[in-house]
Amino acid sequence: MSTTASPGLEAEMLRLVDRQAVVEVCTRMAWHADQREWDAMESVFADEVRLDYTSLNGGEPAVLSPRQIADAWSGVLGGFDATQHLVGNHLVTIEGDTAVCTASFQATHRLANPFGSPLWTLGGTYRFDLVRAGGGWRIGGVVMTATWADGNRELMAPAAEAAG
């Protein structure tokens, strides 16, 4: 009986390891943001990241460094009492040293507010474009497509003011 894996089985095992690593780095982006772990969050990103949040905010996509993203997100998300970004239903396609991961998300933002609901929840999809770099996978692009929202979107303004 041989203990050596067949080349086909070995390739499938490597594909599964890569798939799990891609899902992990995408999940870590949300986790670190919610835990306010800005330095750790930088580690999930490639040197340059194309962020596209135009479905929510309009404007144009931006290309930013991991530090610029951490500074921007800490300024907005850090103004909330709490946030929770749930990311699931990951679909991963890997081709060599690049990958695409699409996932559903639900992001809840909480801020005590004497003039309205303290919650704003947003739902939709993410498309993460990843590259293999530095021995692991890094996010080189994020497209957030908002498809629904509930609650008090006006919480974004006081949160940004409180943080900034």
Domains of the chain and CATH, by start: 7-163 (3.10.450.50)
pLDDT value of position 9: 77
Q: How confident is the model at residue 33, as a pLDDT?
A: 97
Q: What is the pLDDT of residue 51?
A: 98
- Of 109, 88, 90, the residue nearest 152 (C-alpha): 109
pLDDT at 10: 76
List the structure tokens of 124: 């939709």
User: Mind listing the pLDDT tens digit of every residue in the chain (164 residues)?
Assistant: 455 667 787 777 788 889 999 999 999 999 999 999 999 999 999 999 999 999 998 999 999 999 999 999 999 999 999 999 999 999 999 999 999 999 999 999 999 988 889 999 999 999 999 999 988 999 999 999 999 999 999 888 765 565 55
The pLDDT score that the predictor gives to residue 164 is: 54
* Residue 56 confidence (pLDDT): 92
Q: What is the pLDDT of residue 5?
A: 61
